[in-house]
């Protein structure tokens, strides 16, 4: 079965604006599910994939530890970095320019109601994309996201962080894939709350600035493959 997913590339936006937009789409889908009393009927939910580049921001997940933020609020303001304690899983991460942030708002009842499957599928989208650039990436046992050299102690490098929220099998939040991201921002936090492991980007791994638009297109294509879906572009 081929799923239809509405796609929007929102460009450069502030974090709070798109967080609110995700919450709106989630609420609409949850209400659509609540209005169906017959369990044999499929609710009229809609699937979405949002791409965005955020202006510099740190986000701390609901179970994250504030001590993993190594910079005070005054210094954040001085550097133009916003900060939000949010309702996804996971710990502290950074979003910024030249990073593909993807927010799938999917009704997993229409795909597969299994969060483990969903997270592994998101990881697979990024792993396939990196393989197209000759980068061998994979998973790290017990640590969600996409890694390089995950099984070589001292060389582990995370290139894509993930954190989600799910309500009635409707997802929000998603992944942050470092393409040409300024990695200096990660030095002010303990990324994802994981000590003694590095953060990397496609640019750092390849040694040159990567065509950002091309990478986005390849992520979209791999999303369609992994999630057996067709992306329908629209402007909202």
| pLDDT for residue 71 | 84
Q: What is the CATH number of domain 3-233?
A: 3.30.930.10
Q: What residues contact residue 57 under an 8 Å CB cut-off, 6+ apart?
A: 14, 15, 81, 82, 83, 84, 94, 95, 96
**pLDDT digits over 64-100, tens only?**
777 788 888 888 888 899 988 887 767 788 999 999 9
Q: Three-state SS string across the chain, please?
A: CCEEEEEEEEEEECHHHHHHHHHHHHHHHHHHHHCCCCCCCCCCCCEEEEEEEECCEEEECCCCCHHHECCCHHHHHHHCCEEEECCCCCCEEEECCCEEEEEEECEHHHCCCCHHHHHHHHHHHHHHHHHCCCCCCEEECCEEEEEECCCCCCCCEEEEEEEEEEECCEEEEEEEEECCCCHHHHHHECHHHCCCCEECCHHHHHCCCCCHHHHHHHHHHHHHHHCCEEEEECCC
Average per-residue pLDDT in the chain? 91
Contact predicate 48/27, CB 8 Å: no
**Could you list the active site residues?**
192
Cα gap 50→151, rounded to integer Å: 32
Query: pLDDT higher for 65 or 115?
Result: 115
Cα gap 236→19, rounded to integer Å: 15
Cα gap 129→160, rounded to integer Å: 12
- Percent of the chain at pLDDT exceeding 70: 93
Contact predicate 178/99, CB 8 Å: yes
**pLDDT digits over 55-64, tens only?**
999 888 877 7
Select from 158, 144, 32, 48 the least CA-distant residue to 103: 48
| pLDDT for residue 201 | 97
């Amino acid at each position: 079965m081929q799923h239809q997913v509405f796609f929007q590339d929102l460009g450069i936006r502030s974090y709070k604006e798109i967080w609110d937009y995700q919450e709106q789409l989630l609420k609409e889908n949850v209400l659509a599910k609540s209005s169906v009393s017959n369990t044999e009927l499929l609710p009229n939910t809609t699937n979405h994939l949002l791409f965005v580049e955020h202006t510099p921001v740190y986000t701390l997940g609901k179970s994250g530890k504030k001590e993993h933020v190594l910079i005070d609020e005054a210094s954040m303001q001085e550097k133009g970095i916003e900060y939000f304690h949010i309702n996804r899983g996971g710990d502290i991460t950074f979003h910024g320019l030249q990073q593909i942030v993807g927010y799938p708002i999917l009704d997993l009842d229409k795909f597969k109601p299994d969060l483990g499957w969903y997270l592994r599928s998101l990881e697979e989208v990024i792993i396939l994309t990196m393989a197209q650039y000759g980068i061998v990436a994979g998973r790290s046992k017990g640590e969600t996201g996409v890694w390089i050299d995950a099984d070589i102690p001292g060389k582990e490098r995370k290139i894509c962080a993930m954190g989600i929220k799910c309500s009635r099998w409707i997802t929000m939040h998603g992944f942050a894939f470092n393409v040409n991201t300024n990695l200096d921002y990660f030095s002010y936090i303990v990324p994802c709350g994981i000590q003694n492991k590095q953060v990397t980007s496609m640019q750092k791994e390849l040694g040159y600035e990567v065509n950002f638009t091309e990478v986005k297109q390849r992520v979209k294509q791999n999303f369609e493959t992994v999630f057996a879906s067709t992306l329908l572009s629209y402007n909202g």
